[in-house]
Structure 1
Amino acid sequence: MAPLRHLCLCLPLLLLLPPPAAPAPTPAPRTDWAACRSLSLELSQRLMSLKEPHRVLEDTHLSEEDPENWPPRIRCSDACDPSTLDTNNTHCLQRILQGLKHYRDLLGSDIFTTRPLHQLQATLNQLLDQLLAPHQQERNEPHRHHMEPSEAWARPLLQRLALQRLQSFTAIMGRVFTHSASPH
């Protein structure tokens, strides 16, 4: 019975002790918005400076019948609007990463073998590295998607379509980075 009495006497003393310290919160990975804004501007400028090698395609606007077959687009549901970006940018950044990875793979595919765009690829890779820097575990994962070989005659058309879509994606992505880089 004596051990039980000791326990009863010690229990109120335990309640007076401060609670154990919670582990220090680990800071969330930080994205360098200014660097992303700068790289997205550079990517946009590189896209604007590209000359169409097939003059007949200069005024052509192509559309793909199967939108599921083409790259991710930034949609309203991706939470890339300014009010949402200020509170939670995770979903928007995931969509941007998904799109950039797709374009990286597309620029490295056989569509661009006759027209490699090394500077554009280098800038896109720098932007990807910048976005993945806070998330080191994702950097090591290969994200290369297998692209089906394309017919030689279709490559100029597919290049044009890919670059048009990358330009649209870059414009919206640039707005996200510009908003996020500006002081609020």
Structure 2
Amino acid sequence: MAPLRRLCLCLCLPLLLPPSAAPAPAPTPRTDWAACGSLSRELSRLVATLKEPYRVLEETRLSEENPKNWPPRIRCSDACDPATLDTNNTRCLGRILQGLQHYRDLLGSDIFTDRPLPQLETTLARLLGLVQQEHGRPPRHSLAPSKAWAHPLLRRLALQRLQSFAAIMSRVFTHSASAR
């Protein structure tokens, strides 16, 4: 009878002991909306102050015909509207992260080698660092080299699109910073 009693004790003892404390989940970093808002406004300001060295391009609005080549844009379906941001901002932040990575890679590409923009790159990198806290750090992507004659046109197109992206992104971060 003793072995049966021992077996019952071994099986019932864990039920009588207090539950062990589960390890606390590692805190996930939170997006600093106010800092992101400040950096996105700075990014918008920097892009707006850039002067075009080729005067003929100043009045030119460029566009690509192939939408597959367009950079990431913040769309209505990205849930960046104020009502959705207050409840779930994951999708919106993912799109912003994707756009920031694209422009980081673009600023490091061959179209900017003869006219680097270090202050713009630094601000974009700082903003990207804040947004990446929750999403990890994906690697840089190298872009296909382009023809040297096209660099001024591509640079102008890239900066126009970055300015549009930064303006919308700044609105998203500004709203979210004020709502928190």
The change in CA–CA distance for 1:152 and 1:2 in structure 2 (over 3 A counts) is same
What displacement does 1:72 show? 1.0
C-alpha displacement at 1:161, in angstroms? 0.9
Which amino acid in 2 is paired with 1:170?
A: A
1:2 aligned onto 2:9: no
Residue type of the alignment partner of 2:42: E
Q: 1:171 aligns with which of 162, 167, 173?
A: 167
Structure-1-length-normalised TM-score = 0.85
User: Contact 2:44–2:166 at 8 Å: present in 1 too?
Assistant: yes
1:88 and 1:23 mapped to 2: Cα distance? Answer: 26
Q: TM-score, normalised by structure 2?
A: 0.87
Amino acid of the structure 2 residue aligned with 1:128 = L
The unaligned stretches of length 5 or more in structure 1 are: none
Offset, 1:7: 4.0
Query: 1:99: which partner in 2?
Result: 99
Q: CA–CA distance in 1 between the matches of 2:105 and 2:31?
A: 23
Q: How far does the alpha carbon of each residue in 1:150-169 deviate from its partner, in whole angstroms, 9 at most, with x for none? A: 11221111111111110111
1:47 matched to 2:47: yes
* Match in the other structure for 2:141: 145
* Cα distance in 2, alignment partners of residues 131 and 151 from structure 1: 33
Unmatched 5+ residue regions in structure 2? none
Distance 1:148 1:52 in 2: 24
Q: CA deviation at 1:89?
A: 1.8
Tell me: CA distance 1:13–1:145, structure 2 relative to 1, closer, same or farther (3 Å). Answer: closer
Deviations 1:92-145 (A, max 9, x none): 22211111111111111111122221211111112112223x35x934x5x221
Matched positions, count = 180
Instruction: Report the CA distance between 1:67 and its aligned residue.
Output: 1.8
Rounded Cα–Cα distance in structure 2 between residues aligned with 1:9 and 1:111 = 75
2:82 is aligned with what amino acid?
P
Residue 127 of structure 2 aligns with an amino acid whose one-letter code is L
Which range is displaced more, 111-120 or 42-51? 111-120
1:90 alignment partner in structure 2: 90
1:163 and 1:79 mapped to 2: Cα distance?
25
Cα separation, 1, equivalents of 2:179 and 2:113: 42
Relative to 1, partners in 2 of residues 1:168 and 1:4: Cα closer, same or farther, differing over 3 Å?
same
Q: Secondary structure of the equivalent of 1:71?
A: coil
Tell whether 2:139 aligns with 1:161. Answer: no
CA RMSD of aligned residues (A): 2.2
